[in-house]
Amino acid sequence: MSLSLFDLSGKRALITGSSQGIGFALAKGLQEAGAEIVLNGRDADKLGVAAEDLGGNPHLLPFDVTDHDAVRTAVDGFEEETGAIDILVNNAGMQHRTPLEDFPADAFDRLMQTNIASVFHVGQACARHMIRRGAGKIVNIASVQTALARPGIAPYTMTKGAVANLTKGMATDWAKYGLQCNGLAPGYFDTPLNAALVADPEFSAWLEKRTPAGRWGNVDELVGTCIFLASGASSFVNGTTVFVDGGITASL
């Protein structure tokens, strides 16, 4: 009985930004837990490659998560033509590293649109259908920067703090309709987004000393928490953000 709580058989999951990195790892993990997968990204060719790597005949749903109308059209069309999206993982995101005093306004705007507005656009589009069905799971990917800051990424830190608070707002508005909306906050993981940091011996040495677990995270280590938040096991968990960070937010 207890293990069946984590079974996603018969569920369909849309993961934004899932052609690589954390998004792809979560798509693979949810698929292994039984879910039917819908891959998303802007680049249809990259999605095709990801689908081949994933296997299992996932659906491909290319759209720009920052375009409200395009998101609505894609989600509504999929729901009508294919079926319900039971689980949404809002993973799409970007990073830009520049000291705050020199931070370009256009990069700031791109961060706002990609990291915050997309969570609203895709979350609202999917929730409208989930509300009608009286059930749904939304998992928003936050960050260790939801709770902590580092030099050179102040606007990114702002966006990830906003993701956690938008998650609380989603839960507050939508829990009464049977939705569970929660956040998953990775610490420092070896991903394409962090490639420059992984390649920096000085940063890696600092990170290993700063993190109680003493190492970078592996993206596969995010899967268990995502399955929990996407499954019946979290039926009374709402509006919280779970940190998967090797203990970095727990220690000075």
Task: Catalogue the active-site residues.
Answer: 156
Q: Is 236 helix (H, G, I), strand (E, B) or coil?
A: coil
For 236, counting Cβ atoms within 10 Å of its Cβ (0-12 exposed, 13-18 middle, 19+ buried), the class is: exposed
Q: What is the largest CA-CA distance in the chain?
A: 55
Q: Is 200 helix (H, G, I), strand (E, B) or coil?
A: coil
8-state DSSP, 4: G
For 102, counting Cβ atoms within 10 Å of its Cβ (0-12 exposed, 13-18 middle, 19+ buried), the class is: exposed
Cα–Cα distance, 81 to 112 (Å, whole number): 31
Cα–Cα distance, 154 to 98 (Å, whole number): 9
